[in-house]
Chain A
């Protein structure tokens, strides 16, 4: 099984508004081997989240096709394929469905109709992995952004999918726990042959990937191992929020250190 593609994307095109010519993705093709760690980078609005939404079947491609485990993704197959694919979205606030931390982690398990003891065990393990077990009875209003992000990650870990997609899912974690969590994921990945597709602005995170995709304005402009990609394109720009942050810093304004998402930066500026 090892080495066979778990995900293969062929000639994928998509636009949100078919009246315009703004393609969020145009003619993107790539293949992900089982057990690989794939990182996707690109500027804001380059179509990374759109790609993730296409892969989990939330939107349908205008052209091209997606194969997961050699099975084509369409209206009929999406419910079955989703059992093998987990995704953590960008905004941790709006993906908290349960009333408490453990309810939220269990939500996907309930949908699989698992029995209580199985759910209890998986929730426990997943929360331990993201170091949130002591918060299991808290509700989302009592958690910070990073903690909510951990819960969302736990929710996907508990599902034990073959393919995990993280859409900037680690940005709110402090650097130390981000590194820890990435290590944990690396270990699990090796152990159970998990495939990870991680959308990120973090150079460090992109560098540990087996494969790196670079999107620009909806087009796949670069593909290869991180070393290859970075060598060929020394000028891959940091994301806008990061540029703005550095610009502010240069102007002598005291901004917090470390990468912030646009939302965080907005929240920080409005504070």
Chain B
């Protein structure tokens, strides 16, 4: 029913599944950053190889990833077309007013295309192999320094994890309410837009009410179990650094060296500017 692959988790035991979520998150961001430094075909092929290797390692079939790209493909093609048409330079194959198709245009179109695809693929790899609660933990760990600025990081992290935990409940409840309405003769997915919107009201209202009640009861439970905002609490969920995480870092270094080799620029210099 739900076509959106990005943001879903596929249970598994692969190497990627077992990596530290903090590492996965940082590495994905790093990889995306890296994409913007690459300005040659070989570099992209190198990155593509790496991406495919990761997809392979994740133990999820390639078709799942391509399903993830499909809903976004028109957006990507549109962006690529703009790049191609408005970039000049090199041999010009075709031109009409400001629009032209040039060698440079085609190249930068290819780069844009590769970047988009790889950004989607890498984010999909991370979300497919990481439970949302682990991602929450990772985000929590990474933004912890913000505590110094008196931002209630821990409360936000708990909020996020509780919301994530309630998504299936909400879906269940929606289904129940819809069934109840159906039993009373409501037909969904018929009529014009306004009629359909009207039918949503008796679904949204009960959901709203039950969510509020739920939230209230949960707040009671949390209070009775001694949860107080701003009071120091320990954490049962522990993120541990393993050997495999070190191996992953070495892989990322190799990847970076490869990119800089193909780019003929010294990354160390670049970062020191």
Contact = CB atoms under 8 A, between A and B. Distances in A.
Nearest to A152: B221
B228 interface: yes
Contact of B221 (A83, A89, A100, A159): A89
Contacts, number: 89
Contacts of B227: 107, 111
A244 interface: no
Interface in A138-162: 139-141, 155, 159
A112 to B, nearest CB: 6
B39 interface: no
B198 interface: no
B237 A87 contact: no
A93 interface: yes
A236 interface: no
- From B131, B214, B236, B238, name the one whose CB has the most chain A CB atoms within 10 angstroms: B236
Interface residues of A, number: 41
B217 A97 contact: no
A110 B233 contact: yes
Interface string B160-187: 0110110011001000100010000000
A123 B236 contact: yes
B144 to A, nearest CB: 16
Contact of B133 (A99, A113, A114): A99
B217 A94 contact: yes
A94 B232 CA distance: 24
Interface string B207-234: 0000001100110111111111001111
Interface string A214-252: 000000000000000000000000000000000000000
Contacts of B272: none
29 contacts: A58-B224, A79-B226, A83-B226, A86-B224, A89-B220, A93-B214, A94-B213, A94-B217, A94-B221, A97-B221, A98-B165, A99-B133, A99-B164, A103-B133, A108-B225, A109-B236, A110-B233, A111-B225, A111-B226, A111-B231, A112-B226, A113-B232, A113-B234, A116-B234, A116-B236, A123-B236, A140-B169, A141-B172, A270-B176
Interface of B: 131, 133, 161-162, 164-165, 168-169, 172, 176, 180, 213-214, 217-218, 220-228, 231-238
